[in-house]
């Protein structure tokens, strides 16, 4: 359908990398793109009355483990390595059906809370991709190298099949996942690098997440984690580096020089007590594209990107002892930078941008009082996913609260019951 969003009270977008608030405008959508913003009177569109709403770009969850909603609340009070070993003890027993259920539960939660695209790291990526396509959500994902759970040869074969199946999809973007330098061998890292070059795919990897990881890397390789990855040709413009809580200044220079991308996951880092400090201000000053992710629903335990934007600002201020990281930086990381990471002209509301949009209910008490000058602050610091009334992805309405809310809620409840049947044997 071609849509005309009429009478939008506010539109929050980006112009020349600066936030811009538009008032009382219409938005025309055709063939998955925004074709006009302003006063629009032409016909041929299905009209949607957006009075009482603010329209914002869709939010990108730049790093998560989508099926892990099946492990939400399973083992919450442990540090990273203890927690990981507990997760892996269950993940060895997962089936495609269970992963499908976990993916669907997470995708329902993400859609209902305004996420229009997510970047995933998990097993059986085709299962999650199919669920994302069913619901109309964008996803970047692919096979995960993790030697403790799967043979690298099996991962490579799976990845090639995944690229063959989804490589031309409008909504699914293949990538290569490497869990971490401590979960794979040097040979596996080199295999991932060669596949990235051969297939022209980006690589996503957890790196410098904990102090122990950094110390062990220095002991074994004589280098810190980013240095080690760089020595193997794995830090480049195709790289997405996750966490970076324990990273040196000279490693930041490596990241900036090659135009690698980085992702901050503040809530998960705090919950797993990884400590350290993600150098958001330094990275931005160096011109690095900084994105934002929730991490998985077993380590966050929410997939609400509104919460994550607020947590990003608060953690940075707590760590820096100043307010140089502001609401606009978190909003930029969650919108336009997320789409830059995906290689799409999105995260914006303007002609030519992909039509990935979120409508927020201005009647929410959390957003009052509302003015143009406090709109961005209210969205980052006050709003949450329950304020979302509509989500549009690629020009298609994938969530309309008035139509879908109770349907999605009931489906989520049904999935939860089935996942409980699976997880009880591990309790």
Q: What is the pLDDT of residue 39?
A: 93
Q: Give the class (CATH, top level) of 3-58+347-394.
A: mainly beta
The HSE-up count of residue 375 (CA atoms within 13 Å, CB side) is: 20
416, two tokens: 């939860």
Residue limits of CATH 2.30.40.10 in the chain? 3-58+347-394
Residues of the chain with pLDDT below 50 are none
For 368, the enclosing helix (H) or strand (E) is: none
Q: CA-to-CA distance for 200 and 193, rounded, in angstroms?
A: 10
DSSP state letter for 354: B
The whole-number pLDDT of residue 44 equals: 87
Residue 43 pLDDT? 84
SS3 content of the chain, % helix, strand, coil (to 5): 45, 25, 35
Task: Count the residues in the chain.
Answer: 427
Q: What residue spans in the chain does CATH classification 3.20.20.140 cover?
A: 59-342
- 113 preceded by a cis bond (ω within 30 of 0): no
Which are the contacts of 86, defined by CB distance < 8 A and separation ≥ 6?
74, 75, 78
Whole-model pTM? 0.97
What is the pLDDT at residue 70?
97
Which residue matches tokens 């049947």? 421
Q: What is the pLDDT of residue 1?
A: 80
Please calculate the CA angle 274-209-141 and round it to the nearest 5 degrees.
120
The answer to whether 174 and 167 have CB atoms below 8 angstroms apart is yes
**Using CA atoms, how far apart are residues 410 and 108, in angstroms rounded to an integer?**
11
Whether residue 110 contacts residue 334, with contact meaning beta carbons closer than 8 Å, is answered with no
Q: 59-342: what fold?
A: TIM Barrel (3.20.20)
Q: At what angle do helices 96-112 and 125-135 cross, to 10 degrees?
A: 40
pLDDT of residue 42: 84
pLDDT score recorded for residue 339: 98
CA distance 257 to 260: 8
Average pLDDT, the chain: 97
Per-residue pLDDT tens over the stretch 136-188: 999 999 999 999 899 999 999 999 999 999 999 999 999 999 999 999 999 99
């Amino acid at each position: 359908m071609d849509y005309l969003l009429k009478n939008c009270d506010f539109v929050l977008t980006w112009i020349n990398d600066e936030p811009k608030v538009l008032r009382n405008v219409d938005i025309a959508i055709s063939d998955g793109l925004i074709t006009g913003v302003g006063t629009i009177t032409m016909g041929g569109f299905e009209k949607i009355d957006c009075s009482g709403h603010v329209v914002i770009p869709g939010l990108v969850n730049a790093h998560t483990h989508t099926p892990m909603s099946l492990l939400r609340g399973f083992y919450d009070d442990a540090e990273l390595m203890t927690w990981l070993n507990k997760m892996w003890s269950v993940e060895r027993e997962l089936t495609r059906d269970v992963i499908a259920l976990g993916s669907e539960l997470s995708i329902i939660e993400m859609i209902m809370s305004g996420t229009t695209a997510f970047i995933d790291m998990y097993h059986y990526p085709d299962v999650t991709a199919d669920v994302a396509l069913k619901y109309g959500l964008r996803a970047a994902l692919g096979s995960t190298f993790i030697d403790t759970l799967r043979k690298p040869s099996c991962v490579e074969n799976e990845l090639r099949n995944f690229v063959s199946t989804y490589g031309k999809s409008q909504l699914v973007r293949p990538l290569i996942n490497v869990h971490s330098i401590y979960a794979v061998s040097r040979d596996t890292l080199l295999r991932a690098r060669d596949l990235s070059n051969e297939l022209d795919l980006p690589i996503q990897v957890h790196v410098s997440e904990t102090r122990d990881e950094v110390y062990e890397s220095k002991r074994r390789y004589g280098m810190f984690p980013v240095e080690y990855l760089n020595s193997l040709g794995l830090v480049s413009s195709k790289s997405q580096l996750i966490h970076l809580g324990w990273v040196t200044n000279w490693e930041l220079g490596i990241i900036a020089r090659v135009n690698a991308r980085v992702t901050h996951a503040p809530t998960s880092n705090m919950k797993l007590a990884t400590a350290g400090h993600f150098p958001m201000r330094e990275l931005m000053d160096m011109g690095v594209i900084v994105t934002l992710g929730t991490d998985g629903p077993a380590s966050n335990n929410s997939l609400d990107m509104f919460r994550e934007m607020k947590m990003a600002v608060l953690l940075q201020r707590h760590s820096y002892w100043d307010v140089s990281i502001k609401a606009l930086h978190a909003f930029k990381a969650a919108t336009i930078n997320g789409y830059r990471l995906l290689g799409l002209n999105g995260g914006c509301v303007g002609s030519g941008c992909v039509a990935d949009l979120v409508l927020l209910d201005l009647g929410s008490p959390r957003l009052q009082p509302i003015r143009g000058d406090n709109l961005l602050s209210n969205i980052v610091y006050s709003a949450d996913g329950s304020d979302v009334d509509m989500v549009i992805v690629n020009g298609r309405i994938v969530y309309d609260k008035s139509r879908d809310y109770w349907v999605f809620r009931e489906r989520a409840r049904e999935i939860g019951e089935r996942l409980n049947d699976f997880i009880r044997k591990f309790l």
